[in-house]
């Protein structure tokens, strides 16, 4: 097993992202600057699905660019964890985990914050907020306040 | 293309005792299952020439099938590990049929065991599902979470309620109560389900399957050879698979899964439809999985699962007895291996406790489901 694979395994066990994954490195770097980005195919112009990958999942073209997303999306589904599977979540339960469909395309796992977990709803309009941790920044989402 | 319906049959099956097996290891449970299967089939290990297994969950090393074959005295001309999560046991039977029809083997052992209820002292590294590092940083850790996403969508799209899912848990437990080799045998009520603690809302504890130790195996051969075996052969009539996504992030929908196309493929091969099924052994890692699969398999329209599972329809004596052994929810979670052995026993007709025998069982359907609601496999089995 290469060192890289081994490190990836250990990072996953800790419940942390793998910041040096070649395809995903720009994603994590841009989050540090509070920019949510995704890959867009230079050929078919579609936004890639997550996780990032080397060739377009829609047409297999190999050229793409990282584009800055507007940071808005909608909750596709939402759940509330009542049991901590990881010691770090012992004092966080109950907490929300949601699948967020981003406006430009693509879906990510995240948390809806600034909202009690049992008030998160499918279809809820949300916008990105950034949680800065010592080693990386996580994109999270809060409900969009109606004007 | 040749239709393989009815070309091969299951001629042996073995189950270990399930539940907590602190003295067992992953290896010993596999061997126990193989031994029980050989005894049931009335043949020696040296007469088996193929072996298929799953990658062990506790030790994801290479070519476990070859290791296991030699540990069991099987000199295999055909052997490999398959890796479709809870769809693997059914996929093993399908690959066995293909190998036999291709002339690469005559008699194939399909075995799976897991040790999850008690620690496995065997050294090794647990297998990864894949893409955890795109889920865990946000606290999404468990299969329960992924299935809770599907339950939430089903509730949103079709008005399904937690109480509806409870009917599956209650009926399945009732069946387990009649099965001597089941882990949880004390009957439960809808109220018990509703009052059980939340694990990942909207799923309660009693929506979730067990963590188990145990193993199971089936032996597949051609129908011609099947007549030389002592037990009634069970024909493999239909086979299907479909894997419509890998990750929750690329799933086109969470309320119609691989079971739709997989069952259509199996029905077409068998020349049968949902109305022909005398019972169903449906993968039930969570109650919602069984509900969605019942719909995908055409037993009711999409969204009508909430009504279908009521009024005793899925109980013994009902229109479609479901998980007659107690399923993953109450018997044991061996990734569906025992859904297959149970179907074989039901179709043989004299091997389960009389009170849980499906009367005149001639044809049954079995489902497997794995990963992030991603992989699916179907078998239709019939008494010869």
* Strands, sheet with B279-281, edge to edge from the N-terminal-most edge strand: B78-82, B50-54, B107-115, B213-222, B8-15, B234-242, B375-383, B363-370, B279-281
Domain that holds residue B52: 8-119+209-383
Q: d(Cα B109, Cα B73) in Å, to the nearest integer?
A: 12
DSSP string for residues in A67-119:
EE---EEEEEEEEEE-S-SSGGGTTT-SEEEEEEEETTS-EEEE-B-SS-GGG
What is the token pair recorded at A140? 């999270």
A95 touches chain B (CB under 8 A): yes
Q: Give backbone dihedrals phi and psi of B190, rounded to 5 degrees, phi first.
A: -55, -40
CB nearest B133 (choices: A17, A76, A78): A17
Q: Does A58 touch chain B (CB under 8 A)?
A: no
CA distance A15 to B139: 7
Distance CA B105, CA B100 (A): 5
A97/B140 Cβ within 8 A = yes
Query: Taking 60 as the threshold, does the pLDDT of residue B372 lie above it?
Result: yes
**Domain-embedded: residue B136:** no
Which residue of B61, B134, B206, B374 to mutate against A (max A Cβ within 10 Å)?
B134
Summarize the confidence of residues B283-312 as an average pLDDT: 98
Q: Does B138 touch chain A (CB under 8 A)?
A: yes
Cα separations in angstroms, B88 against B64, B84, B110? 14, 5, 10
Candidate from A38-42, A80-84, A95-99, B56-60 with smallest mean pLDDT: B56-60
So where are chain A's domains?
3-143
The whole-angstrom separation of Cα B198 and Cα B188 is: 17
Burial B348-370 (b: 16+ CB within 10 A, else e): beebbeeebbbeebbbbbbbbbb
| List of chain A residues whose C-beta atoms are within 8 Å of the C-beta of residue B201 | 79-80, 82, 94, 117-118
Contacts of B140 in chain A (CB under 8 A): 81, 97, 109
Poorest-confidence range of B2-6, B293-297, B333-337? B2-6
CB A23 within 8 A of CB A52: yes
Contact in structure between B9 and B233 (CB atoms under 8 Å): yes
- CA atoms of A110 and A108, how far apart (whole Å): 6
Tens-place pLDDT, residues B322-360? 999 999 999 999 999 999 999 999 999 999 999 999 999
- Average pLDDT, integer, range B156-165: 98
Query: Is the CB of residue A142 less than 8 Å from the CB of residue A125?
Result: no
How far apart are the two ends of chain A, measured CA to CA in Å? 54
Cβ–Cβ gap A109/B248 under 8 Å: yes
A32 touches chain B (CB under 8 A): no
* Chain B: residue whose CA lies nearest to A99: B249
- Is the CB of B218 inside 8 Å of chain A's CB atoms? no
| Ramachandran bin of B55, using left for φ above 0, alpha for ψ from -120 to 50, beta for the remaining angles | beta
pLDDT digits (tens, 9 = 90+) for B21-41: 999 999 999 999 999 999 999
DSSP classification of residue B86: G
Residues of B with CB below 8 A from A97's CB?
Answer: 138-140, 145
Residue A134 has what pLDDT? 94
CA B228 centroid distance within chain: 27
- Each residue's pLDDT tens digit, B70-126: 999 999 999 999 999 999 999 999 999 999 999 999 999 999 999 999 988 877 777
CB-based contacts of B78, cutoff 8 Å, min separation 6: B49, B50, B51, B99, B104, B105, B108
- Give the tens place of pLDDT for each residue, B238-257: 999 999 999 999 999 999 99
- Total tally of structural domains belonging to chain B: 1
Confidence of residue A3 (pLDDT cuts 50, 70, 90): very low
Mean pLDDT (whole number) for A3-28: 75
Would you report the helix, strand and coil content of chain B in percent, each value rounded to 5? 40, 20, 40
Residue B340 lies in a domain: yes
The residue in chain A having the minimum alpha-carbon distance to the alpha carbon of residue B143 is A85
Q: Between A and B, how many CB-CB pairs are < 8 A?
A: 105
Best of A81, A100, A131 to disrupt the B interface (most B CBs within 10 Å) is: A81
Does residue A13 surpass a pLDDT of 90? no
> Touching check for A9 and chain B: CB below 8 Å?
yes
Residue B248 lies in a domain: yes
The predicted pLDDT at position A5 comes to 52
Residue of chain B whose alpha carbon sits nearest to that of A77 = B149
Per-residue pLDDT reduced to its tens digit, B261-280: 999 999 999 999 999 999 99
Distances in whole angstroms, Cα of residue B192 to Cα of each of B206, B209, B289: 8, 15, 20
Dihedral sign for Cα B182, B313, B356, B174, please: positive
Each residue's pLDDT tens digit, A48-80: 999 999 999 999 999 999 999 999 999 999 999
Distance in angstroms (rounded) separating the CA atoms of residues A58 and B218: 40
pLDDT tens digits for range B200-236: 999 999 999 999 999 999 999 999 999 999 999 999 9
Residue pair B55/B81 in contact (Cβ under 8 Å)? The answer is yes
Please report, for the domain that includes residue B63, its CATH number: 3.40.47.10
Helices (H), chain B: 26-41, 64-71, 88-101, 143-158, 162-177, 190-195, 223-226, 259-270, 287-296, 305-308, 337-348
In a domain, residue B160? The reply is no
């Amino acid at each position: 097993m290469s060192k890289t694979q081994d490190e990836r395994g250990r990072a996953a066990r800790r419940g942390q992202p793998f910041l040096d994954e070649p395809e995903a490195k720009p994603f994590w770097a841009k989050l540090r600057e509070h920019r949510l980005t995704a890959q867009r195919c230079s050929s078919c112009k579609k936004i890639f699905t997550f996780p990032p990958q080397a060739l377009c999942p829609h047409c297999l073209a190999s050229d793409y660019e990282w584009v800055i997303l507007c940071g808005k999306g909608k909750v596709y589904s939402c759940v509330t964890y009542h049991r901590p599977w990881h010691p770090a979540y012992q004092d966080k339960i109950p907490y929300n985990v949601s699948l967020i469909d981003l406006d430009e395309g693509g879906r990510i796992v995240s948390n809806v914050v600034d909202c009690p977990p049992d008030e998160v709803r499918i279809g809820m309009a949300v916008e990105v907020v950034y949680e800065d941790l010592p080693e990386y920044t996580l994109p999270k989402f809060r409900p969009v306040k109606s004007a | 293309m040749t239709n393989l319906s009815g070309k091969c049959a299951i001629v042996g099956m073995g189950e270990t005792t399930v539940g907590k097996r602190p003295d067992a290891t992953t290896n010993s449970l596999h061997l126990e299952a193989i031994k029980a299967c050989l005894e049931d089939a009335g043949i020696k290990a040296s007469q088996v020439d193929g072996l298929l297994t799953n990658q062990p969950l506790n030790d994801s090393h290479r070519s476990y099938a070859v290791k296991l074959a030699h540990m069991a005295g099987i000199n295999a001309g055909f052997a490999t590990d398959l890796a479709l999560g809870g769809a693997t046991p059914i996929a093993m039977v399908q690959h066995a049929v293909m190998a036999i029809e291709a002339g690469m083997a005559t008699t194939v052992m399909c075995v799976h065991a897991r040790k999850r209820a008690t620690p496995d002292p065997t050294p090794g590294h647990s297998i990864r599902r894949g893409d955890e590092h795109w889920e865990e940083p946000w606290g999404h850790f468990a299969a329960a979470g992924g299935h809770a996403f599907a339950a939430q969508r089903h509730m949103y799209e079709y008005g399904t309620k937690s109480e509806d899912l409870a009917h599956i848990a209650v009926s399945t437990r009732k069946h387990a109560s009649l099965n001597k080799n089941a882990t949880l045998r004390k009957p439960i009520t809808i109220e018990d389900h509703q009052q059980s603690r939340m694990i990942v809302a909207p799923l309660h504890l009693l929506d979730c399957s067990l963590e188990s130790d145990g193993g199971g195996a089936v032996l597949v051969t051609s129908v011609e050879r099947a007549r030389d075996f002592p037990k009634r052969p069970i024909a493999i009539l239909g086979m299907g698979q479909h894997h419509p996504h890998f990750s929750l992030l690329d799933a086109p929908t969470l309320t119609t899964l691989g079971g739709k196309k997989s069952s259509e493929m199996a029905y077409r091969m068998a020349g049968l439809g949902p109305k022909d099924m005398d019972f169903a052994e449906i993968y039930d890692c969570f109650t919602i999985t069984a509900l969605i699969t019942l719909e995908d398999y055409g037993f009711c329209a999409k969204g009508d699962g909430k009504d279908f599972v009521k009024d005793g329809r899925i109980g013994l004596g009902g229109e479609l007895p479901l998980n007659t052994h107690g399923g993953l929810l109450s018997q044991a979670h061996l990734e569906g291996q025992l859904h297959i052995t149970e179907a074989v026993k039901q179709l043989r007709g004299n091997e389960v406790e009389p009170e849980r025998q499906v009367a005149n069982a001639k044809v049954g359907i079995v489902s497997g489901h794995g990963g992030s609601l991603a992989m699916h496999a179907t078998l239709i089995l019939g008494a010869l």
